[in-house]
Amino acid sequence: MRRLPQHDWFLASERKDGRRRLPPWGRGGTLPRMPNEPLSALALAGVFLASVLGGGVNAIAGGGTLLTFPALVGLGVPALTANATSTVALWPGALSSMWGYRGELRGARAWVARITLPSIAGGALGAWLLLRTPPDRFARIVPFLVLGATLLFLAQGPMMRRLRRTGSGAGEGGAAPADRDPELAPWAFVAAQFGIGVYGGYFGAGIGILMLAGLGLMGFTNIHRMNGLKNWGAVCMNVVAAGIFAFSGVVHWPVALTMAAGGLLGGYAGSRMAQRVGQQRVRRAIVAIGLASFLFLLLRPL
Protein backbone atom coordinates (compact mmCIF):
# COMPACT_ATOMS: atom_id res chain seq x y z
CA MET A 1 0.00 0.00 0.00
CA ARG A 2 1.40 3.35 -0.94
CA ARG A 3 2.17 5.98 1.65
CA LEU A 4 -0.50 8.60 2.11
CA PRO A 5 0.50 12.23 1.62
CA GLN A 6 0.49 14.43 4.70
CA HIS A 7 -2.36 16.62 3.44
CA ASP A 8 -4.69 13.63 3.05
CA TRP A 9 -5.33 13.52 6.79
CA PHE A 10 -9.03 12.95 6.13
CA LEU A 11 -8.33 9.60 4.45
CA ALA A 12 -6.74 7.89 7.43
CA SER A 13 -6.50 7.93 11.18
CA GLU A 14 -3.94 6.61 13.63
CA ARG A 15 -4.52 3.29 15.38
CA LYS A 16 -3.26 2.60 18.88
CA ASP A 17 -0.35 0.62 17.51
CA GLY A 18 0.75 3.61 15.43
CA ARG A 19 -0.24 2.11 12.06
CA ARG A 20 -2.45 3.97 9.62
CA ARG A 21 -6.07 2.87 9.46
CA LEU A 22 -8.01 3.46 6.26
CA PRO A 23 -11.56 4.82 6.36
CA PRO A 24 -14.48 2.65 5.15
CA TRP A 25 -14.15 3.88 1.57
CA GLY A 26 -10.50 2.73 1.36
CA ARG A 27 -11.03 -0.97 2.08
CA GLY A 28 -11.24 -2.20 -1.47
CA GLY A 29 -7.60 -3.28 -1.57
CA THR A 30 -6.38 -0.16 -3.37
CA LEU A 31 -7.10 3.45 -2.68
CA PRO A 32 -9.20 5.43 -5.16
CA ARG A 33 -7.84 8.58 -6.80
CA MET A 34 -7.37 11.19 -4.11
CA PRO A 35 -10.11 13.82 -4.29
CA ASN A 36 -7.58 16.65 -4.52
CA GLU A 37 -5.31 14.97 -7.08
CA PRO A 38 -5.33 17.35 -10.05
CA LEU A 39 -6.85 16.37 -13.37
CA SER A 40 -5.24 17.45 -16.62
CA ALA A 41 -6.30 20.69 -18.27
CA LEU A 42 -7.87 18.64 -21.06
CA ALA A 43 -9.92 16.63 -18.57
CA LEU A 44 -11.10 19.82 -16.83
CA ALA A 45 -12.08 21.21 -20.23
CA GLY A 46 -14.15 18.07 -20.76
CA VAL A 47 -15.78 18.57 -17.34
CA PHE A 48 -16.62 22.17 -18.27
CA LEU A 49 -18.13 21.14 -21.60
CA ALA A 50 -20.21 18.39 -19.99
CA SER A 51 -21.43 20.86 -17.34
CA VAL A 52 -22.40 23.44 -19.97
CA LEU A 53 -24.40 20.79 -21.82
CA GLY A 54 -25.89 19.50 -18.56
CA GLY A 55 -26.91 22.98 -17.44
CA GLY A 56 -28.51 23.67 -20.82
CA VAL A 57 -30.35 20.34 -20.77
CA ASN A 58 -31.64 21.07 -17.25
CA ALA A 59 -33.00 24.42 -18.40
CA ILE A 60 -34.75 22.89 -21.42
CA ALA A 61 -36.04 19.54 -20.21
CA GLY A 62 -34.27 18.43 -17.01
CA GLY A 63 -32.10 15.35 -16.55
CA GLY A 64 -28.70 17.00 -16.87
CA THR A 65 -27.20 14.74 -14.19
CA LEU A 66 -27.59 11.79 -16.55
CA LEU A 67 -25.09 13.58 -18.79
CA THR A 68 -22.64 15.08 -16.30
CA PHE A 69 -22.18 12.13 -13.92
CA PRO A 70 -21.14 9.54 -16.55
CA ALA A 71 -18.90 12.19 -18.13
CA LEU A 72 -17.03 12.67 -14.85
CA VAL A 73 -16.57 8.92 -14.45
CA GLY A 74 -15.45 8.59 -18.06
CA LEU A 75 -12.85 11.33 -17.51
CA GLY A 76 -11.27 9.37 -14.67
CA VAL A 77 -13.01 10.68 -11.54
CA PRO A 78 -13.99 7.76 -9.25
CA ALA A 79 -17.75 7.20 -9.12
CA LEU A 80 -18.09 8.01 -5.42
CA THR A 81 -16.02 11.19 -5.72
CA ALA A 82 -17.93 12.18 -8.87
CA ASN A 83 -21.24 11.75 -7.06
CA ALA A 84 -20.24 13.83 -4.03
CA THR A 85 -18.59 16.49 -6.20
CA SER A 86 -21.69 16.78 -8.40
CA THR A 87 -23.88 17.34 -5.35
CA VAL A 88 -21.67 20.17 -4.12
CA ALA A 89 -21.37 21.73 -7.58
CA LEU A 90 -25.06 21.66 -8.44
CA TRP A 91 -26.71 22.86 -5.24
CA PRO A 92 -26.47 26.56 -6.21
CA GLY A 93 -28.59 25.71 -9.26
CA ALA A 94 -31.18 24.04 -7.03
CA LEU A 95 -31.18 27.13 -4.81
CA SER A 96 -31.76 29.44 -7.77
CA SER A 97 -34.62 27.24 -9.00
CA MET A 98 -36.24 27.36 -5.58
CA TRP A 99 -35.84 31.14 -5.47
CA GLY A 100 -37.62 31.42 -8.81
CA TYR A 101 -40.57 29.52 -7.36
CA ARG A 102 -40.58 31.24 -3.96
CA GLY A 103 -43.90 32.93 -4.69
CA GLU A 104 -45.56 29.54 -5.02
CA LEU A 105 -44.71 28.72 -1.39
CA ARG A 106 -46.87 31.52 0.01
CA GLY A 107 -49.74 30.07 1.98
CA ALA A 108 -48.18 26.61 2.09
CA ARG A 109 -46.35 26.93 5.41
CA ALA A 110 -47.72 23.66 6.81
CA TRP A 111 -46.59 21.72 3.76
CA VAL A 112 -43.19 23.43 3.72
CA ALA A 113 -42.70 22.38 7.37
CA ARG A 114 -43.75 18.79 6.63
CA ILE A 115 -41.27 18.61 3.75
CA THR A 116 -38.33 20.34 5.46
CA LEU A 117 -37.50 18.02 8.35
CA PRO A 118 -37.72 14.67 6.52
CA SER A 119 -35.77 16.13 3.58
CA ILE A 120 -32.95 17.36 5.81
CA ALA A 121 -32.84 14.18 7.89
CA GLY A 122 -33.05 11.94 4.82
CA GLY A 123 -30.41 13.91 2.93
CA ALA A 124 -28.04 13.69 5.90
CA LEU A 125 -28.58 9.93 6.26
CA GLY A 126 -28.12 9.38 2.53
CA ALA A 127 -24.86 11.34 2.51
CA TRP A 128 -23.61 9.38 5.53
CA LEU A 129 -24.50 6.09 3.84
CA LEU A 130 -22.61 7.15 0.72
CA LEU A 131 -19.49 7.89 2.76
CA ARG A 132 -19.81 4.48 4.41
CA THR A 133 -19.98 2.72 1.03
CA PRO A 134 -16.59 1.44 -0.23
CA PRO A 135 -15.76 2.87 -3.69
CA ASP A 136 -15.61 -0.53 -5.38
CA ARG A 137 -19.06 -1.43 -4.06
CA PHE A 138 -20.50 1.94 -5.11
CA ALA A 139 -18.99 1.46 -8.58
CA ARG A 140 -20.99 -1.78 -8.85
CA ILE A 141 -24.19 -0.14 -7.59
CA VAL A 142 -24.05 3.06 -9.63
CA PRO A 143 -25.01 1.60 -13.07
CA PHE A 144 -28.37 0.56 -11.64
CA LEU A 145 -28.83 3.96 -9.98
CA VAL A 146 -28.29 5.57 -13.39
CA LEU A 147 -30.71 3.10 -14.99
CA GLY A 148 -33.35 3.84 -12.35
CA ALA A 149 -32.91 7.59 -12.81
CA THR A 150 -33.25 7.16 -16.59
CA LEU A 151 -36.51 5.23 -16.18
CA LEU A 152 -37.81 7.89 -13.79
CA PHE A 153 -36.94 10.56 -16.35
CA LEU A 154 -38.72 8.53 -19.03
CA ALA A 155 -41.85 8.41 -16.85
CA GLN A 156 -41.72 12.14 -16.10
CA GLY A 157 -43.38 13.26 -19.35
CA PRO A 158 -46.52 11.09 -19.07
CA MET A 159 -46.81 11.88 -15.36
CA MET A 160 -46.60 15.63 -15.90
CA ARG A 161 -49.23 15.47 -18.66
CA ARG A 162 -51.52 13.55 -16.33
CA LEU A 163 -51.00 16.04 -13.51
CA ARG A 164 -51.78 18.95 -15.83
CA ARG A 165 -54.96 17.25 -17.03
CA THR A 166 -55.96 16.60 -13.42
CA GLY A 167 -55.34 20.23 -12.51
CA SER A 168 -57.32 21.65 -15.43
CA GLY A 169 -60.13 19.20 -14.81
CA ALA A 170 -60.33 20.20 -11.15
CA GLY A 171 -60.46 23.86 -12.08
CA GLU A 172 -63.18 23.42 -14.70
CA GLY A 173 -65.22 20.76 -12.96
CA GLY A 174 -66.82 22.09 -9.92
CA ALA A 175 -65.29 20.13 -7.14
CA ALA A 176 -62.03 21.47 -5.76
CA PRO A 177 -60.29 24.46 -7.33
CA ALA A 178 -56.97 23.64 -8.93
CA ASP A 179 -55.05 25.95 -6.58
CA ARG A 180 -56.42 24.57 -3.30
CA ASP A 181 -53.90 22.57 -1.30
CA PRO A 182 -54.75 19.39 0.59
CA GLU A 183 -55.27 20.36 4.22
CA LEU A 184 -53.07 17.78 5.92
CA ALA A 185 -49.85 15.97 5.09
CA PRO A 186 -50.29 12.46 6.54
CA TRP A 187 -47.42 10.73 8.26
CA ALA A 188 -47.17 8.28 5.37
CA PHE A 189 -46.17 11.23 3.17
CA VAL A 190 -43.57 12.33 5.72
CA ALA A 191 -42.10 8.81 5.76
CA ALA A 192 -42.05 8.70 1.95
CA GLN A 193 -40.37 12.12 1.81
CA PHE A 194 -37.75 10.87 4.26
CA GLY A 195 -37.07 7.90 1.95
CA ILE A 196 -36.75 10.25 -1.03
CA GLY A 197 -34.36 12.37 1.03
CA VAL A 198 -32.17 9.33 1.75
CA TYR A 199 -32.01 8.59 -1.97
CA GLY A 200 -31.37 12.28 -2.71
CA GLY A 201 -28.43 12.43 -0.32
CA TYR A 202 -27.02 9.14 -1.63
CA PHE A 203 -27.36 9.71 -5.39
CA GLY A 204 -30.08 12.20 -6.21
CA ALA A 205 -30.84 11.90 -9.93
CA GLY A 206 -34.61 11.68 -10.36
CA ILE A 207 -35.68 13.03 -6.97
CA GLY A 208 -37.82 15.70 -8.65
CA ILE A 209 -40.18 13.24 -10.31
CA LEU A 210 -40.39 11.20 -7.09
CA MET A 211 -41.46 14.27 -5.12
CA LEU A 212 -43.95 15.35 -7.78
CA ALA A 213 -45.45 11.85 -7.74
CA GLY A 214 -45.80 11.97 -3.95
CA LEU A 215 -47.43 15.42 -4.00
CA GLY A 216 -49.80 14.27 -6.75
CA LEU A 217 -50.86 11.28 -4.66
CA MET A 218 -51.55 13.64 -1.77
CA GLY A 219 -54.08 15.49 -3.92
CA PHE A 220 -52.12 18.47 -5.28
CA THR A 221 -53.27 19.66 -8.69
CA ASN A 222 -51.51 23.04 -9.06
CA ILE A 223 -48.29 22.13 -10.88
CA HIS A 224 -46.64 25.45 -9.99
CA ARG A 225 -47.24 24.90 -6.27
CA MET A 226 -45.94 21.35 -6.66
CA ASN A 227 -42.78 22.58 -8.38
CA GLY A 228 -42.21 25.12 -5.61
CA LEU A 229 -42.50 22.46 -2.90
CA LYS A 230 -40.37 20.06 -4.95
CA ASN A 231 -37.60 22.63 -5.37
CA TRP A 232 -37.69 23.44 -1.65
CA GLY A 233 -37.34 19.77 -0.77
CA ALA A 234 -34.43 19.39 -3.21
CA VAL A 235 -32.63 22.38 -1.66
CA CYS A 236 -33.02 20.91 1.84
CA MET A 237 -31.59 17.54 0.75
CA ASN A 238 -28.78 18.94 -1.39
CA VAL A 239 -27.56 21.61 1.03
CA VAL A 240 -27.16 19.22 3.95
CA ALA A 241 -25.60 16.52 1.75
CA ALA A 242 -23.26 19.05 0.11
CA GLY A 243 -22.18 20.31 3.53
CA ILE A 244 -21.39 16.79 4.73
CA PHE A 245 -19.43 16.01 1.56
CA ALA A 246 -17.55 19.31 1.69
CA PHE A 247 -16.31 18.67 5.23
CA SER A 248 -15.63 14.95 4.66
CA GLY A 249 -12.81 15.57 2.19
CA VAL A 250 -14.21 13.56 -0.73
CA VAL A 251 -15.00 16.54 -2.95
CA HIS A 252 -12.73 17.24 -5.93
CA TRP A 253 -12.80 21.04 -5.66
CA PRO A 254 -11.30 21.95 -9.06
CA VAL A 255 -13.95 19.75 -10.69
CA ALA A 256 -16.71 21.18 -8.46
CA LEU A 257 -15.81 24.78 -9.34
CA THR A 258 -15.50 23.92 -13.03
CA MET A 259 -18.90 22.21 -12.96
CA ALA A 260 -20.52 25.15 -11.16
CA ALA A 261 -19.20 27.63 -13.76
CA GLY A 262 -20.22 25.42 -16.68
CA GLY A 263 -23.64 24.72 -15.21
CA LEU A 264 -24.37 28.43 -14.75
CA LEU A 265 -23.31 29.20 -18.31
CA GLY A 266 -25.26 26.27 -19.72
CA GLY A 267 -28.34 27.09 -17.66
CA TYR A 268 -28.38 30.65 -18.98
CA ALA A 269 -27.86 29.52 -22.57
CA GLY A 270 -30.46 26.80 -22.20
CA SER A 271 -33.05 29.23 -20.89
CA ARG A 272 -32.46 31.38 -23.98
CA MET A 273 -32.79 28.38 -26.29
CA ALA A 274 -35.72 26.72 -24.53
CA GLN A 275 -38.28 28.19 -26.92
CA ARG A 276 -36.32 27.19 -30.03
CA VAL A 277 -35.39 23.60 -29.20
CA GLY A 278 -38.07 20.92 -29.07
CA GLN A 279 -38.24 19.42 -25.57
CA GLN A 280 -39.28 16.04 -26.92
CA ARG A 281 -36.09 15.68 -28.97
CA VAL A 282 -33.94 16.67 -26.01
CA ARG A 283 -35.76 14.23 -23.74
CA ARG A 284 -35.25 11.37 -26.21
CA ALA A 285 -31.56 12.20 -26.42
CA ILE A 286 -31.25 12.20 -22.61
CA VAL A 287 -32.95 8.81 -22.35
CA ALA A 288 -30.57 7.42 -25.00
CA ILE A 289 -27.57 8.89 -23.14
CA GLY A 290 -28.84 7.48 -19.86
CA LEU A 291 -29.20 3.96 -21.27
CA ALA A 292 -25.79 4.17 -22.96
CA SER A 293 -24.29 5.40 -19.67
CA PHE A 294 -25.85 2.43 -17.85
CA LEU A 295 -24.13 0.03 -20.26
CA PHE A 296 -20.83 1.95 -20.07
CA LEU A 297 -20.81 1.95 -16.26
CA LEU A 298 -21.91 -1.69 -16.11
CA LEU A 299 -19.33 -3.03 -18.55
CA ARG A 300 -16.31 -0.86 -17.76
CA PRO A 301 -13.49 -2.51 -15.80
CA LEU A 302 -13.50 -1.59 -12.11
- Is 41 within a domain? no
Type of residue numbered 75: L
- Is 54 within a domain? no
Residue 96 is predicted with a pLDDT of: 72
Residue 89 is predicted with a pLDDT of: 87
Residue 302 is predicted with a pLDDT of: 60
- Is 69 within a domain? no
Give the C-alpha separation, 280 to 62, whole Å: 11
CB-based contact 268:60 (threshold 8 Å): no
Give the C-alpha separation, 271 to 232, whole Å: 21
Nearest to 39 by CA among 7, 74, 76, 6: 76
Residue 135 is predicted with a pLDDT of: 87
* H/E run at residue 119: helix 109-131
Give, for all 302 residues of the chain, the pLDDT tens digit: 443 333 333 333 344 444 444 444 444 433 344 455 677 888 899 999 988 888 877 766 667 788 888 888 888 888 899 999 988 888 777 777 677 777 878 878 888 888 999 999 999 999 999 999 998 899 899 899 989 888 887 877 777 677 666 655 555 544 444 456 676 667 888 899 999 999 999 998 778 878 888 888 787 877 778 878 888 998 899 899 999 999 998 999 999 999 989 888 887 777 677 667 666 777 777 788 888 888 888 888 76
Give the C-alpha separation, 107 to 86, whole Å: 33
Q: Is 181 left (phi over 0), alpha (psi -120 to 50) or beta?
A: beta
> What's the total number of domains in the chain?
1
Entry field: residues in the chain? 302
- Is 166 within a domain? yes
Q: Which domain holds residue 120?
A: 79-299
Give the C-alpha separation, 205 to 12, whole Å: 30
Residue 61 is predicted with a pLDDT of: 62
- Is 71 within a domain? no
- Is 40 within a domain? no
Give the C-alpha separation, 47 to 35, whole Å: 15
Nearest to 123 by CA among 232, 215, 214, 242: 242
Give the C-alpha separation, 298 to 144, whole Å: 8
Residue 234 is predicted with a pLDDT of: 86
Q: What backbone phi and psi angles, to 5 degrees, belong to 13? A: -140, 160
Residue 9 is predicted with a pLDDT of: 30
- Is 67 within a domain? no
CB-based contact 78:139 (threshold 8 Å): yes
Residue 15 is predicted with a pLDDT of: 43
- Is 198 within a domain? yes
Residue 26 is predicted with a pLDDT of: 41
Residues 6+ apart with CB under 8 A from 42: none
Give the torsion sign (CA, 244, 248, 251, 256): positive
Residue 277 is predicted with a pLDDT of: 66
Residue 19 CA: distances (Å) to CA of 8, 12, 16? 15, 10, 7
Helix ranges (DSSP H) in 173-273:
187-202, 207-217, 223-248, 253-273
* H/E run at residue 142: helix 135-172
